[in-house]
Amino acid sequence: MENFSGKTAVISGATRGIGGAITHNFLEAGARVIGLYAGNTEAAALFMEEHSRFAPQLELVQCDVASESQVASLFAMIEEKYESIAILVNNAGIRRDAVLALMTTSQWQQVIDTNLTGTYLMAKQAVLLMMKNKYGRIINITSPVAHMGFPGQANYAASKAGQIALTKTLAKEVAKKKITVNCVSPGFIATDFINTLDQELLLEYKKMVPMKRFGTAQEVADAVLFLASSRATYITGTVLDVNGGL
């Protein structure tokens, strides 16, 4: 495994599910991690306890990625304390499912605000720091529904498609500064995100996957670590699918 010591990574949604595995991977690889969570202080405390052996490398911060002022304060703190960052993983995401005809404006807006505006706010601040060092890796966690669509997820699919468009555009803007910007697109991954769905529905979804199983958070985290590594220097503006063949 590549050694990331001396590199600082900011990871959103860092204390549960896919983000928890991503954070774990970077800590094991020697990186310093600033891990963000929204409001689940219990999960954050448990994550910190389980990773106490990495204590000097790990800082958890409660920060709503959809809030411009909270993201600005976070990056002001980071600049003061650590000067810059090498890696940003925009993993925080929510879903508020409803068929479009019945979707409330609030359901639409919450998902766009967290998944898409959050990615914009975080990437903007990160790029300003990364440009100083002429180095950076930005990895956005999108979803196959961005191009497939999925009933009940017009808000979510639009937010994830927007992330891909943002990724491809930003990749072109910062390529000369040696900053790469990519997406990882997980298929069905067994986390709280889908575990709350109806069990029969989950069985149907499993049948849709050619590998006939859901993926693990670890399998997604390994793809993220690869894109952040020195083995991925010429990869930018792409989407890496981790979906069992969907």
Rounded distance between C-alpha atoms, residue 123 and residue 100, angstroms: 29
Q: Return the half-sphere exposure (C-beta side, CA atoms, 13 A cut-off) of residue 17.
A: 21
Cα 162 to its chain centre, rounded Å, is: 14
Residue 216's contacts (CB-CB under 8 Å, 6 or more residues apart) are 21, 189, 190
Determine the interface stretch with ligand NDP among 37-45, 164-172, 205-213, 229-237 (rule: CB under 6 A): 37-45
Residue of the chain from 4, 75, 85, 93 that contacts ligand NDP (CB under 6 A):
93
Which residues, numbered 207-246, are part of the site for ligand NDP (CB under 6 A)?
none
Residue of the chain from 7, 9, 10, 16 that contacts ligand NDP (CB under 6 A):
16
Residue of the chain from 7, 11, 15, 26 that contacts ligand NDP (CB under 6 A):
15
Q: Is 120 a catalytic residue?
A: no
Task: Spell out a b/e string for 201-211, using b for 16 or more CB atoms within 10 Å of the CB, else e.
Answer: ebeeeeeebee
Min. distance of Cβ 64 from ligand NDP in angstroms? 4
Q: Does 35 bind ligand NDP (CB under 6 A)?
A: no
DSSP state of 29: T
Catalytic option among 37, 135, 156, 234: 156
> Which residue, chain included where needed, has tokens 């959809």?
66
Please give the residue ranges that form the binding site for ligand NDP (CB under 6 A).
12-13, 15-19, 36-40, 43, 64-66, 91-94, 114, 118, 141, 143, 186, 188-189, 191-194
